Amino acid sequence: MVLNTALSSIYMVADLPILEELMGYFFIVGHRGAKGLEPENTLKSIRRALELDVDAVEVDVRVSKDDYPVVIHDETVDRTTNGEGSVAEMSLEELRKLDAGMGEKIPLFEEVLREVHGKAVLFVEFKVPEAVDPVLEKVDELNAWKSVLFISFHQEHLLKVKKYKEDAYIGLIYSKPSDGIVLAKKIGAIAVLPQYRLATEKAVAFAKRLKLMVVPWVVNDLETGRRLKSYGVSGLATDRPDLLIKLRDVV
Q: Domain holding 234: CATH number?
A: 3.20.20.190
What gap in Å lies between CA 81 and CA 72, rounded to an integer?
A: 10
> Does position 239 have pLDDT exceeding 80, yes or no?
yes
The model's confidence at residue 6, banded by pLDDT at 50, 70 and 90, is: very low
Domain count, the chain: 1
Range of the domain at 116: 2-248
Given this model, what pLDDT does residue 249 score?
Answer: 81
> Does position 21 have pLDDT exceeding 90, yes or no?
no
What's the mean pLDDT in 169-194? 97
> Does position 18 have pLDDT exceeding 60, yes or no?
yes
Q: Where are the alpha helices (DSSP H) in the chain?
A: 2-6, 8-14, 43-51, 92-96, 109-116, 132-142, 155-164, 180-186, 201-209, 222-231, 241-248
What's the mean pLDDT in 104-108? 99
Catalytic residue status for 73: yes
Given this model, what pLDDT does residue 8 score?
Answer: 34
| CA dihedral sign of residues 1, 18, 73, 186 | negative
Catalytic-labelled residue, pool 73, 117, 154, 157: 73
The Cα-based distances of 250 to 1, 26, 214, 225 in angstroms read: 11, 10, 19, 12
- Whether the full predicted model's pTM is greater than 0.75, yes or no, is yes
The Cα-based distances of 41 to 31, 34, 47, 59, 82 in angstroms read: 8, 8, 10, 6, 15
Contact 37, 244 (CB under 8 A): no
CA atoms within 13 A on the CB side of 220: 8
pLDDT tens, position by position, 148-164: 999 999 999 999 999 99
> Does position 137 have pLDDT exceeding 50, yes or no?
yes
> Does position 2 have pLDDT exceeding 70, yes or no?
no
Catalytic-labelled residue, pool 31, 117, 154, 157: 31
Share of the chain above pLDDT 90, in %: 89
- One-letter amino acid identity for 175? S
Given this model, what pLDDT does residue 16 score?
Answer: 52
> Does position 11 have pLDDT exceeding 80, yes or no?
no
